């Protein structure tokens, strides 16, 4: 099992199906005129007259329905319920699929690590100093009620997201200084000096709202009134907290643009919500929904022996996954006194036996996560190279407590266990670490230096975690640490995690191929005090802050790699989490009614965006 699908990211307009990539200052300075796209490092793959992205099927038929569960969240979304149609603000639990109802200025290319191409914007021109960009809009851009989408709408959207958007959005665009309409089809976007390299592409990926529609409405309030969008789908039927359907807009203004050819192929999208994972699987088996990304290894290995699967009506598909791995783990809330010392955190982590868990519970199908940039060229390996040392050496003296000696040695990884379930050597090492931290053994209880017992709670919202957590808790008890697990409902879980009211939680965070401002909201000190941000661990590390700034302002891929590898070493040394595991491939189960590209693009799976309904297949299995 890879765990509950707990991935979060800045997934906003239909052009932003993954974290926005980056635009370096060197590209700003080199800009000589209007461009059809933005690229961080190097040339754009696609020229101004490209017909479609290479990874799509330009002849994909349109029609049919795609039904699934939500597997990736953004903004205020939850996995188990929804109560608002505005996922872009702090309040409420946003419904799935709303990103398909809004267009953005530009579209992410999923076969390039850091490139976007024009959707609402036909061109973008960057000023020589890099502090402003002029987006020229397509004259045919329209909202779903037929009203024209203008530069006023763009300016309104960017500023209201900066000022009132969900912290995961607003904190990433704080350096957006202003957006000004110069004409109906021209908007000037200005940035503050020293802004993060990625900011222009993040801005270009934001959803565009109708200023007229929002006039007189409270943008920050929860609402079940469908906001007016300009995207390929609009909200259809829904049962709050149970399902939501999105219907294709028949006269979608951008359907034939090159960035949309071969995309948005389904007549409708439906997202089902379940409070219980087993109930969701039973619903899939009965045909209540047709697409399932499998995150539970025991089900993948043993659960597909039911009539529809035996008869071939349900297919299992394994597709290669070469994108950077999501970083899943148990995250410590270092705001809690019990977790203030990294030696205590490391000792706790040594009590988890991954090898035993992988073999006995997960069929040896997972790989142990080592890095905050797992499965990417940003991962630190071996000893620091010269470029990393050039960044780390000054921090050794400036922040000695945050840059320990181990940062300059081999990149730290959790030690391998013997797979017995209670590795005596690792438990002995954990015992020694606690004593080094000034903790003392009092009978069967280990106590912190101040006398309080080492005690904490694992907070979960899914019983599936019990099998993984309870053996961990038993090992902790052997060491004299008092741990328990609490399972709460989805709404309470969402509120408690958002407000940092927990000890330890599981989180699976996505990392883009070219990370930028999201590093600040995930690992930066300023974000640690802002509810709703992704810095759930409460990391406050000045050395990490300095390296984050090096990463988000890197002017070349080589500089980015050096900064992220150095940051990886510092974060690993902080012991802010207990890394879990990742799957080396996508595991998909579908009712056999779909077609899809043979190989997913390098930087995303592309569902439902690139798939299509196959009526011949559907007819053969009686689902036409």
Q: What is the pLDDT of residue 14?
A: 52
Whether 306 maps to a domain, the answer reads: yes
Beta strand 314-320 pairing with 327-332? unpaired
360 with 445, same domain? Answer: yes
> What is d(CA 39, CA 116) in angstroms, rounded to the nearest whole number?
7
598 with 534, same domain? Answer: no
Q: How many CB atoms lie within 10 A of CB 163?
A: 12
Peptide bond into 503 cis (omega under 30): no
pTM of the full predicted structure?
A: 0.87
Q: What is the pLDDT of residue 32?
A: 56
- What's 528's DSSP letter? G
Q: What is the pLDDT of residue 11?
A: 39
Q: How confident is the chain (624 residues) per 10-residue block, as mean pLDDT?
A: 46 40 34 83 90 97 97 90 96 96 97 95 95 97 98 98 96 96 98 90 96 98 96 98 97 98 98 92 97 94 96 94 92 98 98 97 95 96 98 93 95 96 97 98 96 98 92 97 95 92 93 88 96 95 97 93 98 98 95 93 92 97 91
* Residue 437, CA distances (Å) to 338, 456, 523 in order: 11, 17, 24
Domain assignment of residue 384, given as a range: 327-582
What is the distance of C-alpha 183 from the center of its chain? 35
Whether 399 maps to a domain, the answer reads: yes
If one counts the domains in the chain, the total is 3
Dmax over Cα atoms in the chain, in whole Å? 76
Q: What is the pLDDT of residue 15?
A: 45
Beta strand 7-8 pairing with 72-73? parallel
On whether the CB atoms of residues 38 and 218 are closer than 8 A, the answer is: no
> What is d(CA 132, CA 565) in angstroms, rounded to the nearest whole number?
30
Whether 108 maps to a domain, the answer reads: yes
556 with 597, same domain? Answer: no
- What's 106's DSSP letter? E
What is the distance of C-alpha 387 from the center of its chain? 28
Residue 427 dihedral angles phi and psi, to the nearest 5°: -65, -35
266 with 162, same domain? Answer: no
Q: What is the pLDDT of residue 445?
A: 96
- Among 158, 187, 214, the domain boundary falls at 214
538 with 394, same domain? Answer: yes
433 with 546, same domain? Answer: yes
> What is d(CA 447, CA 615) in angstroms, rounded to the nearest whole number?
65
Angle, vertex CA 529, rays to CA 526 and CA 530, nearest 5: 90
What is the side-by-side order of every strand in the sheet holding 455-460?
Answer: 482-487, 455-460, 504-509, 327-332, 577-579
| Closest to 176 (Cα-Cα) out of 207, 138, 144, 133 | 133
> What is d(CA 332, CA 181) in angstroms, rounded to the nearest whole number?
45
437 with 305, same domain? Answer: no
| Closest to 302 (Cα-Cα) out of 358, 361, 353 | 361
245 with 303, same domain? Answer: yes
> What is d(CA 223, CA 376) in angstroms, rounded to the nearest whole number?
40
SS3 at position 436: helix
478 with 334, same domain? Answer: yes
On whether the CB atoms of residues 220 and 89 are closer than 8 A, the answer is: yes
528 with 425, same domain? Answer: yes
> What is d(CA 347, CA 352) in angstroms, rounded to the nearest whole number?
10
> What is d(CA 67, CA 236) in angstroms, rounded to the nearest whole number?
14
Whether 488 maps to a domain, the answer reads: yes
> What is d(CA 599, CA 501) in angstroms, rounded to the nearest whole number?
42
Q: How many CB atoms lie within 10 A of CB 250?
A: 7
What is the distance of C-alpha 609 from the center of its chain? 17
Whether 501 maps to a domain, the answer reads: yes
Whether 350 maps to a domain, the answer reads: yes
- Among 187, 214, 241, the domain boundary falls at 214
| Closest to 508 (Cα-Cα) out of 2, 77, 82 | 2
On whether the CB atoms of residues 370 and 346 are closer than 8 A, the answer is: no
SS3 at position 204: helix
Structure tokens at 270: 């439906």
530 with 423, same domain? Answer: yes
Q: What is the pLDDT of residue 24?
A: 32
> What is d(CA 361, CA 358) in angstroms, rounded to the nearest whole number?
6
Q: What is the CATH number of the domain that holds 174?
A: 3.40.190.10
Mention every residue, 6+ apart, whose C-beta is less than 8 A from residue 146: none
Whether 118 maps to a domain, the answer reads: yes
Buried b vs exposed e over 107-136: b needs ≥16 C-beta within 10 Å?
bbbbbbbbbbbbbbbbbbbbeeebbbbbbb
Mention every residue, 6+ apart, whose C-beta is less than 8 A from residue 341: 437
Q: Crossing angle of helices 386-398/542-552, nearest 10°?
A: 140
> What is d(CA 346, CA 434) in angstroms, rounded to the nearest whole number?
9
pLDDT tens digits for 289-308?
A: 999 999 999 999 999 999 99
400 with 348, same domain? Answer: yes
Whether 35 maps to a domain, the answer reads: no
* Residue 28, CA distances (Å) to 125, 142, 155, 211, 338 in order: 9, 30, 21, 29, 47
> What is d(CA 576, CA 59) in angstroms, rounded to the nearest whole number?
48
312: left (phi over 0), alpha (psi -120 to 50) or beta: left
On whether the CB atoms of residues 567 and 544 are closer than 8 A, the answer is: yes
Q: What is the pLDDT of residue 20?
A: 31
SS3 at position 114: coil
> What is d(CA 495, CA 271) in angstroms, rounded to the nearest whole number?
22
Q: In the chain, what is the straight-line distance between the N-terminal and C-terminal CA atoms, in Å?
A: 33
- Among 214, 241, 256, the domain boundary falls at 214
> What is d(CA 101, CA 132) in angstroms, rounded to the nearest whole number?
28
| Closest to 263 (Cα-Cα) out of 233, 286, 224, 227 | 233
> What is d(CA 463, CA 375) in angstroms, rounded to the nearest whole number?
29
Q: What is the CATH number of the domain that holds 550?
A: 3.10.105.10
């Amino acid at each position: 099992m890879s765990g509950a699908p707990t991935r979060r990211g800045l997934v906003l307009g239909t052009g932003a199906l993954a974290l926005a990539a980056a635009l370096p200052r060197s590209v700003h300075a080199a800009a000589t005129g209007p461009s059809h796209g933005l690229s961080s490092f190097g040339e754009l793959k696609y020229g101004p007259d490209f017909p479609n992205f290479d990874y799509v099927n330009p002849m994909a038929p349109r029609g049919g329905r795609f039904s699934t569960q939500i597997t990736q969240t953004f903004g205020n979304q939850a996995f188990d319920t929804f109560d608002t149609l505005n996922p872009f603000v702090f309040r409420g639990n946003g419904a799935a699929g709303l990103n398909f109802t809004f267009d953005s200025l530009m579209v992410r290319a999923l076969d390039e690590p850091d490139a976007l191409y024009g959707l609402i914007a036909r061109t973008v021109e960057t000023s020589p100093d890099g502090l402003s960009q002029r987006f020229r809009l397509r004259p045919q851009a329209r909202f779903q009620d037929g009203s024209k989408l203008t530069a006023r709408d763009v300016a309104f959207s960017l500023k209201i997201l900066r000022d009132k958007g969900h912290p995961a959005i607003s904190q990433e665009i704080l350096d957006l200084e202003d957006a000004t309409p110069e004409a109906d089809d021209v908007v000037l976007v200005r940035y503050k000096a020293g802004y993060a390299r990625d900011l222009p592409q993040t801005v270009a990926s934001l959803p565009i709202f109708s200023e007229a529609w929002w006039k007189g409405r409270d943008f920050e309030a929860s609402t079940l009134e469908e906001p007016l969008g300009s995207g390929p789908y609009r909200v259809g039927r829904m049962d709050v907290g149970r399902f939501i359907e999105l219907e294709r807009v028949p006269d979608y203004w951008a359907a034939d643009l090159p960035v949309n050819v071969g995309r948005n192929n389904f007549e409708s999208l439906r997202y089902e919500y379940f409070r219980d994972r087993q109930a969701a699987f039973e619903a899939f088996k009965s045909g209540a929904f047709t697409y399932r990304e499998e995150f539970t290894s025991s089900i993948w290995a043993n659960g597909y022996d039911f009539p529809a699967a035996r008869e071939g009506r349900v297919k299992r598909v394994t597709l290669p996954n070469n994108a950077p791995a999501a970083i899943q783990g148990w995250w410590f809330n270092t705001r809690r006194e019990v977790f203030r010392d990294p030696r205590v955190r490391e000792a706790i982590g040594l009590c988890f036996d991954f090898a035993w868990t992988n073999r006995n519970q997960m069929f040896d199908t997972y790989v142990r996560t080592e890095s905050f940039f797992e499965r990417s060229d940003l991962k630190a390996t071996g000893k620091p190279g010269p470029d990393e040392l050039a960044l780390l050496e000054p921090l050794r003296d400036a922040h000695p407590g945050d840059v320990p000696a181990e940062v300059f040695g081999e990149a730290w990884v959790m030690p391998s266990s013997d797979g017995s379930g209670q590795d005596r050597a690792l438990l002995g090492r954990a015992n020694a670490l606690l004593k080094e931290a000034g903790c003392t053994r009092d009978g069967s209880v280990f106590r912190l230096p101040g006398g309080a017992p080492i005690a904490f709670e694992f907070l979960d919202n899914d019983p599936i975690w019990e099998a993984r957590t309870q053996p961990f808790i038993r090992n902790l008890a052997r060491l004299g640490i008092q741990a328990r697990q609490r399972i709460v409902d989805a709404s309470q879980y969402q509120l408690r995690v958002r407000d940092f009211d927990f000890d330890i939680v599981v989180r699976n965070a996505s990392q883009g191929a070219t990370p930028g401002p999201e590093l600040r909201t995930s690992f930066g000190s300023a974000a640690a005090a802002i509810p709703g941000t992704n810095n759930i661990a409460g990391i406050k590390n000045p050395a990490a802050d300095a390296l984050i700034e090096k990463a988000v302002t890197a002017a070349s891929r080589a500089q980015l790699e050096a900064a992220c590898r150095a940051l990886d070493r510092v974060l690993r040394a902080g012991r802010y989490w207990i890394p879990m595991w990742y799957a080396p491939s996508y595991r998909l189960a579908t009712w056999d009614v779909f077609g899809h590209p043979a190989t997913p693009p390098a930087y995303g799976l592309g569902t439902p965006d690139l798939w299509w309904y196959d009526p011949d297949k559907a007819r053969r299995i009686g689902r036409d």
